[in-house]
């Protein structure tokens, strides 16, 4: 086994695939277990399906609690489930943590949970040696009827790929909040404030658009673009569904301010952490109806491609032929932290 030091970000794809393939999950009540592109686990409990998700917040420090709730609720929402319960683990840095620090984080978590009608049911907190900044890990549990479950495995040839809001909403908010002094070289104070406000407007949550979409038509798969941005999300959807995808980077909405923020740091907006957008595979016959429902709900969206079938891969238009769209090795936002 290689002793090479791994870079910041998600584990390399090959290593993660091997680790997940060895995970024990023989319980017949496990409806959906671990796998590449499968962000949630699903377990049958009596007549109900419970959906489980665990995610940390590692790049953000400002409004850490709000990020924690939204990103965990997002993945639960992509299954068609309603987020119901949250457990929180807080690891706080030695020599830097005050009661006010912890209270502010928990106040954010409680406010976000109240806005989504989620109950906080437990967790763990401690002052931890060796940390430079607070780390938060959430475990979200949701609930869905068996017949309403949506998983990334469901995408099929002919489905249309829709994307809500644009990218990278989360990345833009993080960069503006973490590095306002650096951005002041190219952005006015009100622009930095607006970029930081992407956390709430257009917002990093996707629960509402997921619910609108599944009520309007046959949504076969949903995915929340997080680390690695939209490019990684497309690859994860391709692998989870066993299908090839054809997506047009030029059709992807990138807000002008987000493009300027990413441009300053030299980041690819399509490979930067992108919570706030929802990637949907929709049955071709229902794509128009889903689009109309999203528009009527005031949710911006764009059709960015389709499921084309074949071995799992992601392609983009390339003249008379399609060309491969490479998988990001890691999230682009990591580059900003290395300067």
Tell me the pTM: 0.92
Decide: 331 and 10 in contact? Cβ < 8 Å. Answer: yes
Q: Which residues contact 113 (CB under 8 A, 6 or more apart)?
A: 69, 86, 119, 120
CA 12 to the chain's CA centroid: 18
Confidence at residue 1, expressed as pLDDT on a 0 to 100 scale:
62
* Pick from 237, 220, 216: nearest CA to 288: 216
> What is the maximal distance between C-alpha atoms in the chain?
61
Tens digit of pLDDT at every position of the chain (339 positions):
678 899 877 788 889 989 998 999 889 999 999 988 888 999 999 889 999 999 998 877 788 999 999 999 999 999 999 999 999 999 999 999 999 999 999 999 999 999 999 999 999 999 999 999 999 999 999 999 999 999 999 999 999 999 999 999 999 999 999 999 999 999 999 999 999 999 999 999 999 999 999 999 999 999 999 999 999 999 999 999 999 999 999 999 999 999 999 999 999 999 999 999 999 999 999 999 999 999 999 999 999 999 998 899 999 998 777 899 999 988 999 999 886
Q: CA–CA separation, 23 vs 165, rounded Å?
A: 35
Measured CA to CA, the distance from residue 170 to residue 186 in angstroms comes to: 20
Picking from 33, 57, 35, the residue whose alpha carbon sits closest to that of residue 43 is 33
d(CA 18, CA 249): 30
pLDDT, position 9: 76
Q: Is the dihedral of CA 255, 261, 263, 266 positive or negative?
A: negative
Structure tokens that stand for 99 in this block? 């009661």
The two structure tokens encoding residue 216? 């309007």
pLDDT at 4: 87
Structural domains of the chain ordered from first start: 13-148 (3.30.1330.10), 152-338 (3.90.650.10)
Given the structure tokens 């309007």, which residue do they identify?
216
């Amino acid at each position: 086994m290689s002793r090479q030091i791994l870079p910041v970000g998600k584990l390399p794809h090959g290593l993660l695939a091997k680790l997940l393939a060895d995970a024990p999950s023989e319980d017949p009540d496990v409806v959906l277990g671990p796998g590449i592109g499968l962000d949630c686990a699903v377990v049958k409990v009596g007549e109900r399906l419970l959906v489980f998700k665990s995610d940390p917040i590692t790049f953000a420090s400002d409004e850490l609690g709000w990020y924690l709730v939204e990103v965990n609720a997002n993945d639960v929402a992509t299954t068609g489930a309603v987020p119901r319960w949250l457990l929180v683990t807080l690891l706080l840095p030695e020599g830097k943590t005050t009661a006010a620090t912890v209270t502010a984080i928990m106040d954010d978590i409680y406010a976000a949970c109240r806005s989504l009608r989620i109950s906080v049911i437990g967790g763990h907190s401690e002052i931890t040696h060796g940390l430079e900044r607070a780390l938060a890990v959430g475990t979200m549990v949701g609930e869905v009827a068996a017949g309403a479950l949506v998983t990334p495995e469901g995408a099929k040839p002919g489905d249309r790929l829709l994307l809500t809001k644009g990218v990278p909403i989360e990345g833009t908010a993080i960069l503006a909040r973490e590095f306002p002094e650096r951005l002041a070289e190219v952005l006015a104070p009100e622009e930095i404030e607006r970029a930081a406000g992407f956390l709430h407007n257009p917002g990093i949550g996707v629960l509402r658009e997921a619910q609108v979409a599944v009520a309007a038509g046959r949504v076969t798969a949903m995915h929340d673009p997080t680390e690695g941005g939209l490019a990684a999300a497309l690859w994860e959807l391709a692998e989870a569904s066993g299908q090839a995808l054809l997506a047009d980077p030029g059709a992807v909405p990138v807000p002008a301010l987000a493009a300027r923020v990413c441009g300053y740091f030299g980041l690819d907006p399509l490979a930067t952490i992108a919570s706030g957008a929802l990637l949907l595979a929709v049955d071709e016959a229902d794509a128009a109806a889903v689009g109309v429902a999203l528009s009527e709900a005031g949710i911006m969206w764009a059709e960015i491609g389709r499921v084309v079938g074949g071995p799992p891969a992601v392609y983009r238009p390339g003249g008379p032929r399609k060309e491969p769209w490479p998988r990001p090795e890691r999230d682009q936002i990591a580059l900003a932290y290395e300067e």
